[in-house]
Structure 1
Amino acid sequence: MTVRVFGASFVVTILALIAAYLYAGMSGLAICAILAILEISLSFDNAVINATVLERMSPFWQRIFLTVGILIAVFGMRLLFPLAIVWATAGLNPVQAMDLALNPPANDAPAFPDGSPSYETLLTDAHPQIAAFGGMFLIMLFLDFVLTSKNLTWISPIEDPLSKVGRLPNVPTVIALGALIIAVQFAEPGDTTTVLTAGILGLLTYLVVNGLTGFMESEEPGSGEPGSDEAGSARPGGPTKATQAVGKAGFFLFLYLEVLDASFSFDGVIGAFAITSDPILIALGLGFIGAMFVRSITIYLVRAGTLSEYRYLEHGAHWAIGALATIMLVSIHVEVPELITGLIGVAFIGAATVSSIWANRRDARSDDQPNSDEQSGSDRSDVGTAP
């Protein structure tokens, strides 16, 4: 199964590295490899969350995610998204934006006679708005998870009280808006309005897409009681795991997954400009290699049943999302190194994996103990009745 799931990713990696070498020589190949490694290492929490959504989709919509979805991730988010920001912020047409990206001015000098700044500068200047949008979307995802009552908890001293708070109506939205208001206070004076607008749009996007997804899933024949999983825990907008979303529900779940994937990639795309401003190398490293491997990991987690085997993995991924959302809101005013972002995510995922292994071993010992006691009792009985 491993070869079948990751085979295409390895082929794409080889082709992308060859393309990077032909495009920019050994330096281009090295930059492409570095970007790919960073994207893969920092996106494991993305893959885990994607897997929790993907397992709720029908095989048809899973294939759409792996085909159309990869095109959106590669060309939409890693290539067209940065260019679209330049089009919007600098008033350049697409040809000028691409020329500015491929031919950056020396020493960040103005690229055009009218004083337009460099491609990298334009993207960096747009970071507060991007961080506000992505941060609000992700913090809503985190809050909807930790504020929902669940039969299974990981960090129980924290999650149990939070689930009680979550019984109050609209608590996730209230907390998210409070976080946005605090973040806006630290934004640059000229960015206050745009940051606030971007954050509200991120919040509305989550509410609309998640709400439509939940509604469509509840309308599916045989979907059962909406908002619950097999264990009986409430999952916002989710059907029982025994059913999979098809039709309109599958489409909105696909749309939700794409927006979620885009929110994860915002920070990575902007952070890539600390290494290179070349959009071709960014598309090859982050898109073709990184996005392909994230999708392969997602499929592997679903098909191997990893989420069921490692019971706390989903919890760890959501806590990593909460940390990432907080970092994105903080980065509106303070620059946060990518290394810190990645290490926090890895720490939560690693801790959740270790906790799952310990829990599995504890359960295995508990299952074996009665058998041992029964066997011992049987032996004692045999001894007592021997002539």
Structure 2
Amino acid sequence: MKKFKLNLQRHAIPNPDLIEQKKNDIKQRLNQALKEGNENDFAQAFTEFADDLQQSVIQEAQSIVANVDRQVLATRGVRQLTSEENNYYQKVIEAMKSADPKQALTTLDVVLPTTTIDAVFEDLTVNHPLLSAIDFQNAGAVTEWLLNSNPRQLASWSPLCAEIVKELTSGFRKIDLQQNKLSAFIPVCKAMLDLGPVWLDRYVRTILAEALALGLEDGILSGRGQTLNLHEPIGMRKNLAGSVDPNTGYPDKSKVALNALDPITYGNLLATLSETENGNPRIVNDVILVVNPKDYLTKIMPATTPRATDGTYTRDVFPFPTTVIQSVVMAEGEAILGIGNRYLMAAGTGKSGKIEYSDEYRFLEDERVYLTKFYGHGQPKDNNSFILLDVTNLKPTVMEVKVTNIDEFPVA
């Protein structure tokens, strides 16, 4: 009787938990490299992440390679390309496979389609609650953006005088999107190119989404702004009216202590959001509360989880419509309360919109590294849309029970 030796290591099905753990470990390394400003560590970690992503895409493609029907692919979650997207990726693949990809990509006459960037933004907003709560715009190739910080609209039956024109135009600010640049590196192996446009699109979109997500959340919450030495968004926690330092940017807002979440305390706090920085009233329909995960579990959750009379609990109960967003970027003891859509983040590919060949980073064999540049800027639409909170002493909500209509029992 013959004995067969089975290589379990080779035929093992990847453990989803281990894959997710490895992904989180790489993200922690990326965040640490960002904080330390270590470009080499960041590039190595990101290249490792990209390689893992490539392998997962390749395995998925190979598992359904026989299913060439577009409808079958669509039912399995594979995004179908427009004719413009298909043409773009076909030409990019040809250029990447050429003997001189740098020259081939330089002379390429197609740019990354707007629909692809729209799809990247859709992926981002689905997977990142903070990005779905703000005004997240695809600027395309636009390099300047007009922001209306004054929602109050004036109407006049008389001819427009100088004062009315001045007030109408005072709320508009011009934002230069080219000052802040994100270079997203895309390591591509030959096996990935052989899969065709549909799978290259999936890989590129995921890489771009992850690259954007790494820096966006920190920039939206804590970005220091644009100066001669800084090129960052202006975070929700920043005071737009404060003195701007060339090295540290905009100052933080003064913290407001939040010690209770009863209707009166919370209502008075929200009332400060119901006026613009110019003193004009506005309607506040709902707000977001961004908080550190540990603070959520130890402070926000106990303060917003009342117990019903039947013994069950209801989570995230606020006196006013509030969406809680947990973020590791927020420091413990702090939170940001505000009107989500009053933060604008505009990003796009700039004028060229091309994927370029890069000689700068290359850590894996049989790979070529490409990059694409995103330009963008984010900032609150006015200085009165967000509040920086101190939640250190936030107390749990205790349900008050009152007993009425007590019958007097006769004393025997």
User: Which TM-score band applies after superposition, normalised by the shorter structure?
Assistant: under 0.3
The structure carrying a bigger helix percent of its residues is 1
The structure carrying a bigger strand percent of its residues is 2
Alignment TM-score, normalising by the size of structure 1: 0.25
The structure with the larger Rg is 2
* Larger RCO, structure (CA 8 Å, separation 6 or more): 1
Alignment TM-score, normalising by the size of structure 2: 0.24
